[in-house]
Amino acid sequence: MAKHTFKMSDVTGDARLLARSALGYDFNYFADDETLIFGTGSDATISWDGDSLNVASSATEFTGSVALGTTAPMTAGTGITTGTNTVYHASVVKVGAIFETTLFIDLTGLSSNAPNDIIGKASTANSHIGQITAAVNGTIFAGYMQCLETPTTGEPDIDVWYADEATGTEDAAISGLSNQTAVLAAAADWTIAAGVNMRPITGMPAADKYLYLTGGGGTTDGVYDAGKFILKFYGA
């Protein structure tokens, strides 16, 4: 089937109407500077509102690999990203009015020390795991942390906190930062065993705060050689 593309500046309304009704033609055209219409009528439109790409159709189907992402992904501080063999990934996807934030971290190469001390590359500042903002993450209303690989050789009782500053240093107490607040207190060692490998967050991260991992109740002073986690937040 033939396909044609027209710019509004090149095609009159009558010509578009004629093209729509032409037997055997499938076409698309720019309805304005920001909207593209596909099909023999206004069957599907793709428009850009300055922030988001919007698809409107009675039925939309995607085949193959589809990648979704944010224009402003979260990033961890250098106290996390410079760890040897440490892995950090972040994604934020908005569907309707709901933001879904996913953080993945492999603790390998990071250090733990005393209870409530910040986890990160040894003695390194900026050991946060990302900043929550309303624009990127929405207002957080729920979330959870899941252990994918049992942490070893470092402290296995790991908590999540937030604070005002991005500058928190590994082996420094989280209490040294401003407005520090617990997001999740594990109160037990993390393992991959069913029933204990996932815990809900209890303190919702406020906007513009930085997230930190800390040692919980244990005192293991060591460098992790394993320990993978997913931290999930839902915002609106």
- Residue that is written with structure tokens 């908005």 in the block: 94
Range with the lowest mean pLDDT among 9-18, 50-59, 93-102? 9-18
What confidence score (pLDDT) does residue 58 get?
60
Which pLDDT band, with edges at 50, 70 and 90, does 1 fall under?
very low
Contact call for residues 224 and 147 (beta carbons, < 8 A): no
Which pLDDT band, with edges at 50, 70 and 90, does 101 fall under?
very high
Average pLDDT over residues 144-160: 98
Contact call for residues 8 and 32 (beta carbons, < 8 A): yes
CA 212 to centroid of chain Cα atoms: 15
Range with the lowest mean pLDDT among 21-30, 57-66, 109-118, 203-212? 21-30
Higher confidence at residue 13 or residue 176?
176
pLDDT reading at 29 higher than 60: no
Amino acid at 132: I
If DSSP codes are grouped into helix, strand and coil, which group holds residue 10? helix
3-state secondary structure 59-80: CCCCCCCCCCCCCCCCCCCHHH
**What does the alpha-carbon distance between residue 98 and residue 229 come to, in Å, rounded to a whole number?**
22
If DSSP codes are grouped into helix, strand and coil, which group holds residue 186? coil
pLDDT reading at 196 higher than 80: yes
Average pLDDT over residues 101-121: 97
Amino acid at 129: I
How far apart, in Å, are the Cα atoms of 137 and each of 94, 104, 126?
Answer: 9, 16, 21
What confidence score (pLDDT) does residue 146 get?
98
Within 10 angstroms of residue 57's Cβ, the number of other Cβ atoms is 13
Q: Show the CA angle centred on residue 146, arms to residues 143 and 147, nearest 5°.
A: 160
Which pLDDT band, with edges at 50, 70 and 90, does 27 fall under?
very low
Higher confidence at residue 192 or residue 3?
192
